[in-house]
Amino acid sequence: MAAHRSGPLKQQNKAHKGGRHRGRGSAQRDGKGRVELKILCKKVRKELSRVDQRHRANQLRKQKKEAVLAEKRQLGSKDGPPHQVLVVALHNRISLSEAFRLLQDRDMGTVHLNEWGSTYSFMLLCPRLKHRWFFTSARPGDLHSVLDMAKVADTILFLLDPQEGWDSTGDYCLSCLFAQGLPTYTLAVQGFSGIPLKKQIDARKKLSKAVEKRFPDDRLLLLDTQQEAATLLRQLANQKRRHLAFRDRRAYLFTHAADFVPSEENKLVGTLKISGYVRGQTLNVNSLLHIVGHGDFQMKQIDAPIDPFPLNPKVIKSQKDSGMAMEVCASDVASDMEEDLKVLMKADPDRQESLQTEVIPDPMEGEQTWPTEEELSEAKDYLKEGSKVVKKVPKGTSSYQAEWILDEGGESGGERDEDDDTEQDFMEEESQDEKSEEEEEEEECETMTIGDSVRDDLYDEKMDEEAEEKMLEKYKQERMEEMFPDEMDTPRDVAAKIRFQKYRGLKSFRTSPWDPKENLPRDYARIFQFQNFTNTRKRIFKEIEEKEDEGAEVGWYVTLHVSEVPFSVVEYFRKGAPLIAFSLLPHEQKMSVLNMVVSRNPGNTEPVKAKEELIFHCGFRRFRASPLFSQHTAG
C-alpha cells in the first residue's frame, strides 16, 4: 500500500504569464490599501451566512412595507391632509353630476358641499373608514385647469364610456396628462348597467382591449350604484401611491378659501389670504410662493385657524406653540372661534428670499466712453480751485520763485515739543520795539495767488490742444468701429495681400479657442449663470433632506398672507378656476436660459411656427413664451 508518485511521463503545464496585464498583487500595491466600493460590497455579502442574508432581506422588505403603509395611513387621516381626488370625464356622454351623486354617500359619512373654486367639489368625511376625501373637477372644456389640478391631486379618477372608452377630446387630455406626469390614478366605467346582459361580456372585452393601449394591466371598476361607489372609495383609500419628484421636494397648497385686502396706496394690489392644507413638505414663511399661472410672491405671515373639516365632529385639531396636535371638545369650539387666529410664523426680512429675477447689468462695465464738454469744463474748474494757493511773499518775487517758498511752519511738520509753552510765554514778553519792526517788514511783502499764472501759460494750452485732438481722433475711430465692426478700408496704392499679410484665419472651428460670451445679445447679460448646475441642484436637495425646517407641518390647515398680489388673481379664483400655490427652492425665481426637447403628438399635424406664443406646463409652472425651434442634434 505505497503512496502514488508521479512518474517521468507526468504532464508539465507551463506557468501562466500575465504579459502586460497587471496581477492582483500589483494592483493592490498601487492602490495602497484603497478598496473599491463594489469589492467592499462583495466582501460584506460573502461574510454573511445564508441565514443572515435571508434575515437581512426580510428586514428590508418589512421596512419598505411599513413605510408604504404609513404613507397610506397618513393621507386622508385626521393627522394628514384630505385625500384629494380629481375626477376627469374622458367622454362627452359621461355625467359628472351623476358620478358625484353616487360618491356623496350619506351612509358612508358626512358630506360638505364646496362653495368655492370649481363647479363640482365636495368634502366627504367617513369616520368608519377613518378617511376623508376631497373630490373636485374642472369646468368642462378647461384643459389648463385640469392640468393645474393634476399637479396637486393625490389621485385622478378617470371616468370611461362603456362602449368607446374616450373620445378625441379625452384622448387629447390623456396625452397632456401623460406628458406632464401622472400621479396615482383609477379607472371607472359609468353606464355599464345600461347595456343588455348578453352584450356586456363583449363590451367588457372590447373596452379592455382599447384601454390596454394606454393603461396596461389596470383594473376597471364600475360606478353605477351606491355599492359600487363604496367599493371605489375603498380602492382609492388602499391604492399604492405614485410619486412626482417636483411635489415631494416642495410644499404646496390647494386653496379652499381666499380673501383679498387692498393696500391703501393702490386698490388693485394688496394682501391675499389663501387657506388650505399643507402638503408635500414643511412650509416656511421666509421662502417664496409661486401661484400657478400668476408668478412669484413673498409671504408676510402664516396663521393657524381651526380645521373646518375634522374627521370626527366632536374632535377638532389645532396647532399649539409646541407644534403638536391637540384635541379640543366641541363645547370649546365656540369660545376658540371667537379668539384671534394663532400666528404660526412671521417673515424675517433678514432671512426672507428676494424676488429679484434678473441681473441688473452695468452699462458702463467694460466700456471706454469719451467725457462730454460739461464734464471737461467741470474738471478744469475743479483743478483750478484746487491749484490756487495764497502766499505772502517779498516784493518782486516771481510766480516760479513763489512756488518754492514754504508756508509758515511748513518745515516743522512733526509733533509739538514740550518747550512750546515756554517759547510762547517768551514771545508774549517781547517788547513793543520788536512789534514795530515786524510791521515794517510786512509793509515790504505782498500777497500772491499761486496757480493762475501757471495755468495761463501758453505752453500748457498748446499741450492740452494736441492731447484733445489725439483723443478726439481716437474717439472717431472707435465710433466707426462700433458702427461698422466687420468692415475695413483697403488702400488703393497697396495690394490687399500685402496690407493684410499679418492676418491669419482659424486653424479649426472645432478645436480653436472661442469665447462663448463673445458677441452675445444684450439680453444675455440679464440672466443668472451657474458654474455647475448639477452640483448646485444636488447640494440644495441634500440640504433639504438634512435640514429640519421650521414652519407649517404637512396636514395643517393654514392661512397664508401673500403680499403685493394683484386683484386679478382673486377674480380668477372667484370665476371658478383653481388657485394653487407652490413654495420655491433657492434660486428658483431667477431667470435663466432653458433648452427643452419637445416631441410632437402623433395626432397633431398642424405646423408649429417659431417665435409663436405658446403656453408651457413645466413641472408646477404654467407660463407663456415664444420659443425658437431647432433640430435636436448632438451639437
Q: Cell for 488?
A: 475695413
Percent of the chain's residues with pLDDT above 90: 8
Query: Residue 581 pLDDT more than 90?
Result: yes
Min mean pLDDT across 207-221, 362-376, 554-568 is at 362-376
How far apart, in whole angstroms, are the C-alpha atoms of residue 451 and residue 459?
14
Q: Is residue 351 part of a domain?
A: yes
Residue 221: exposed, middle, or buried by beta-carbon count in 10 A (0-12, 13-18, 19+)? middle
Top-confidence range, 369-373, 544-548, 575-579: 575-579
Query: Residue 35 pLDDT more than 70?
Result: no
Q: Which of 582, 557, 578 is nearest to 255 (CA)?
A: 578
**Is residue 332 classed as helix, strand or coil in its secondary structure?**
helix
Q: Which of 278, 328, 334, 330 is nearest to 304 (CA)?
A: 278
Identify the pLDDT of residue 289: 92
Beta strands in 322-436 (DSSP E): 325-329, 342-346, 389-394
Q: Which of 181, 179, 182, 192 is nearest to 220 (CA)?
A: 192
Min mean pLDDT across 94-108, 512-526, 588-602 is at 512-526
Identify the pLDDT of residue 324: 36
Query: Residue 68 pLDDT more than 80?
Result: no
What mean pLDDT do residues 267-280 have? 90
Return the higher-pLDDT residue of 298 and 22: 298
Identify the pLDDT of residue 476: 86
Q: Cell for 175?
A: 396625452
Q: Which of 396, 391, 410 is nearest to 444 (CA)?
A: 396
What mean pLDDT do residues 144-159 have? 91
State how beta strands 269-279 and 252-254 pair.
antiparallel
Among the three residues 587, 604, 625, which one is the final residue of a domain in this structure? 587
Min mean pLDDT across 319-328, 497-506, 591-600, 612-621 is at 319-328
Q: How far is CA 444 from CA 402, 410, 439, 475, 548, in A?
A: 15, 22, 9, 53, 87
Q: Examine the domain organization and report whether 200 and 286 are in the same domain.
A: no
**Is residue 62 classed as helix, strand or coil in its secondary structure?**
helix
Identify the pLDDT of residue 288: 92
Identify the pLDDT of residue 198: 81
Return the higher-pLDDT residue of 127 and 312: 127
Which pLDDT tens digit goes with each residue over 444-464?
Answer: 566 666 554 444 444 454 456
Q: Examine the domain organization and report whether 192 and 113 are in the same domain.
A: yes
Q: Is residue 277 part of a domain?
A: yes
Q: Cell for 574?
A: 372667484
How far apart, in whole angstroms, are the C-alpha atoms of residue 223 and residue 462?
100
Return the higher-pLDDT residue of 283 and 119: 283
Domain CATH number, residue 199: 3.40.50.300
Identify the pLDDT of residue 158: 92
Q: Which helix (H) or strand (E) holds 562?
A: strand 557-566
Residue with cell 391703501: 264
CB of 620 closer than 8 Å to CB of 581? no
CB of 251 closer than 8 Å to CB of 282? yes
CB of 307 closer than 8 Å to CB of 80? no
Q: Examine the domain organization and report whether 182 and 274 are in the same domain.
A: no
Query: Residue 101 pLDDT more than 70?
Result: yes
Q: How far is CA 489 from CA 486, 494, 511, in A?
A: 10, 11, 31
Rg (CA), the chain: 42
How far apart, in whole angstroms, are the C-alpha atoms of residue 601 and residue 599?
6
Q: Examine the domain organization and report whether 126 and 221 are in the same domain.
A: yes
Among the three residues 191, 221, 242, which one is the final residue of a domain in this structure? 242
Query: Residue 635 pLDDT more than 80?
Result: no
Q: Which of 78, 560, 574, 562 is nearest to 307 (CA)?
A: 78
Which pLDDT tens digit goes with each residue over 250-264?
Answer: 899 999 888 899 888
CB of 155 closer than 8 Å to CB of 86? yes
What mean pLDDT do residues 202-220 have? 84
Identify the pLDDT of residue 314: 59
Model confidence at 418, pLDDT cuts 50, 70, 90, reads very low
Q: Is residue 85 part of a domain?
A: yes
Which pLDDT tens digit goes with each residue over 213-251?
Answer: 888 878 888 888 888 888 888 888 888 888 888 888 889
Query: Residue 1 pLDDT more than 80?
Result: no
Q: Is residue 115 part of a domain?
A: yes
Return the higher-pLDDT residue of 46 and 503: 503
Residue with cell 452699462: 363
DSSP string, 234-299: HHHHSPPP---HHHHTS-EEE-SEEEEEE-SS-TTEEEEEEEEEEESSPBPTTS-EEETTTEEEEE
Q: Cell for 545?
A: 433632506
Residue with cell 478645436: 511
Identify the pLDDT of residue 523: 80
Which pLDDT tens digit goes with each residue over 75-90?
Answer: 767 778 888 999 999 8
Q: What is the mean pLDDT of the chain?
A: 77
Domain housing 169: 75-242
Q: Examine the domain organization and report whether 188 and 97 are in the same domain.
A: yes
Identify the pLDDT of residue 583: 92
Model confidence at 33, pLDDT cuts 50, 70, 90, reads low
Query: Residue 604 pLDDT more than 80?
Result: no
Among the three residues 570, 587, 604, which one is the final residue of a domain in this structure? 587
Q: Examine the domain organization and report whether 175 and 266 are in the same domain.
A: no
Identify the pLDDT of residue 433: 52
Identify the pLDDT of residue 454: 44
Q: Is residue 632 part of a domain?
A: no
Q: Examine the domain organization and report whether 80 and 228 are in the same domain.
A: yes
Return the higher-pLDDT residue of 407 and 208: 208
Q: Cell for 124?
A: 366627504
How far apart, in whole angstroms, are the C-alpha atoms of residue 16 and residue 48?
33
Q: Is residue 215 part of a domain?
A: yes
Query: Residue 470 pLDDT more than 80?
Result: yes
Model confidence at 559, pLDDT cuts 50, 70, 90, reads very high
User: From the centroid of its chain, how far is CA 39?
Assistant: 40
**Is residue 214 classed as helix, strand or coil in its secondary structure?**
helix
Strand-pairing partners, residue 326, are 318
Q: Examine the domain organization and report whether 103 and 201 are in the same domain.
A: yes
Min mean pLDDT across 113-117, 148-152, 438-442, 517-521 is at 438-442
What mean pLDDT do residues 541-563 have? 84
Q: Cell for 296?
A: 412669484
CB of 481 closer than 8 Å to CB of 473? no
Neighbour tally for 188: CB within 10 Å: 22
Q: Examine the domain organization and report whether 142 and 212 are in the same domain.
A: yes
Q: Examine the domain organization and report whether 135 and 274 are in the same domain.
A: no
Q: Is residue 459 part of a domain?
A: no
Query: Residue 275 pLDDT more than 60?
Result: yes
Q: Examine the domain organization and report whether 171 and 298 are in the same domain.
A: no
Q: Examine the domain organization and report whether 159 and 279 are in the same domain.
A: no
What is the count of structural domains for the chain? 2
Neighbour tally for 132: CB within 10 Å: 25
Query: Residue 156 pLDDT more than 80?
Result: yes
Q: Is residue 515 part of a domain?
A: no
Query: Residue 4 pLDDT more than 90?
Result: no
Residue 392: phi and psi, rounded to 5, are -105, 115
State how beta strands 120-126 and 220-222 pair.
unpaired
